Amino acid sequence: MTEPERYEAVPCPPWCEQLQCQEPRAEDRFHQLARTVPVTLRRRYPTGTGVDARPGSAELNVVVFASATRPDETWGSIDVGEWSSTIAVTVESMRRVHAALGEVLSVAEA
C-alpha cells in the first residue's frame, strides 16, 4: 500500500472569502469568491398538466474556486440554487461563456 499524498495549504489570495479554505482536511480546502444573482426563470410545462407555467424567481450562484493545495486547479461554476443544477468548468471555459453571453446580448439588443 502506498503512502497517501501530502498536501500543503497555500495562503489565501486577496479575493478569497475564507469559507471553504478552513476545512479540517487540507485536500478539501478551496479559496472561493461567490456572487449571488437574482434571476427570473422561464418555466415550460406540457399543456394540460395543470402546473403553473408562469416565470419563477431563483438565485444563481456564480463562483470561482481554487484548490488551496493544488495551484493548477481553478474552476468557475454557476449553480441554480434550489434547482440543484450546476455547471463547473475551467476558468478559460468561463471566459468563453462570458464572451459568448456578451456577444449574443449585444446582437439581440441591437
> What would the pLDDT profile of 29-80 be if each residue is shown by its tens digit?
899 999 999 988 877 666 666 666 677 788 889 999 998 888 788 999 998 8
Report yes or no on 4 lying in a domain.
Answer: no
Residue partners of 13: CB distance under 8 A and separation at least 6:
31, 66
Number of domains the chain contains: 1
* Per-residue model confidence (pLDDT) at position 44: 67
Rounded to 5°, angle at Cα 59 from 44 and 68: 130
- pLDDT at position 3: 47
In a domain, 14, yes or no: no
Cell numbers standing for residue 40:
427570473
- Residues 41, 47, 50, 55: what is their CA dihedral angle, to the nearest 10 degrees? 10
Domain annotation covers residue 40: yes
Confidence at residue 69, expressed as pLDDT on a 0 to 100 scale: 85
- Residue 10 lies inside a defined structural domain of this protein: no
Residue 96, domain member (yes or no): yes
Residue 6 is assigned to a structural domain of this protein: no
- Mean confidence (pLDDT) of the chain: 83
Q: Could you tell me if residue 8 is inside a domain?
A: no
Domain that includes residue 32, residue range: 20-45+52-109
In a domain, 9, yes or no: no
